[in-house]
Copies of this chain bind each other. A is one copy, B any other.
Amino acid sequence: MSLITLLTDFGLKDGNVGVMKGVILGIAQDATIVDLSHQISPQNVHEAALILLRSAPYFPASTIHVVVVDPGVGTSRRPIAAQLGDQYFVGPDNGVITMLLDFTKKQGLTVKIFHLNQPQYWLAEVSNVFHGRDIFAPAAGHLVSGVSISSLGTSIDNPIQIQIPQPEKMAGSLRGEVIHIDHFGNISTNVKQEHLVSKEVKTLTLNQVSINGMIRTFGERPEGELVALFGSTGNLIISVVNGNAALRLKTKVGDKVEVFIQ
């Protein structure tokens, strides 16, 4: 298996994702490359961290995830590679691995992080604005070709991490927030089943709207009804059956949700 995924904020119109693939395939002609997303909001490291966390666990061992959401490109921010359990990461040291790193550590798996400082594994010319092409794609290409991760750079133990908002436990409720809105308008919150312990959800409120209880599957309610359920990532989500909850509730990432439990 020689599998690489790409996760960027590049969009798909300018050819830059294709160019990264050309660079990888020039180094590792048998690599299989999968797109995770190229529609991360520009420079939104937090959103990329979430998509990486949600996607990586479904990939086979030794998959290399190249993430290029990189507002600090060309500055002193370090390029890094990491082994996170049986998955690999290549990208900027800007906190985009925070959630996957936490997840890996909680499972007690191996974590090794390296500062990419061996230019022989980069393109000969490195621009100040496109390290996806010039550093990260070639590093991933060499890694998938059999170069060991420790050859790519120097071991470090202080990767940048970003603050991940956690739900706050109140008497009788959990105060969380909206962390993602998907293509269908489903609203994902940072409240997870594990936060409820053995309690049940009585009601929840978001943007002055209340929802009573939770359902297990969309089919339990008629089309157009506003519902709460646990989504495919284990997060509490708010949805409209075959509709768009985010548009209906005018919700955005960061909006507060309160979940009353009993």
Residues of A within 8 A of B (CB): 1, 3, 5, 7, 9-19, 21-23, 25-26, 29, 32-40, 42-43, 51, 54-55, 58-60, 63, 71-77, 127-130, 133-134, 180, 182-184, 216-219, 229-232, 242, 244
For this complex, 20 residue pairs linking A to B, each with C-beta atoms less than 8 Å apart, are A1-B25, A1-B29, A3-B22, A9-B184, A10-B183, A12-B37, A13-B37, A14-B37, A14-B182, A15-B36, A15-B55, A16-B182, A18-B35, A19-B54, A21-B34, A22-B59, A22-B63, A25-B32, A128-B218, A129-B231
Q: Which chain B positions have C-beta within 8 A of A216? A: 74, 128
- Name the one of B5, B36, B73, B133 contacting A218, with C-beta atoms under 8 angstroms: B73
Q: Flag if A60 contacts B129 (CB, 8 Å).
A: no
A42 to chain B, nearest CB (A): 6
Bound CA span A5–B127, Å: 24
Copies, count: 3
Do residues B32 and A5 form an inter-chain contact, with CB atoms below 8 A?
no
Contacts of A231 in B (CB 8 A): 127, 129-130
A28 vs B71: C-alpha distance when bound (angstroms): 36
| Residues from chain B with Cβ under 8 Å of A244 in the complex | 42
Across the interface, name the chain B residue whose C-beta is closest to A32.
B25
A232 in contact with B130 (CB, 8 Å): yes
Q: Is the CB of B19 within 8 A of A15?
A: no
Contacts of A36 in B (CB 8 A): 15, 18
Closest residue of B by beta carbon distance from A223: B71
- Residue from B21, B25, B217 within 8 A of A128 (CB atoms): B217
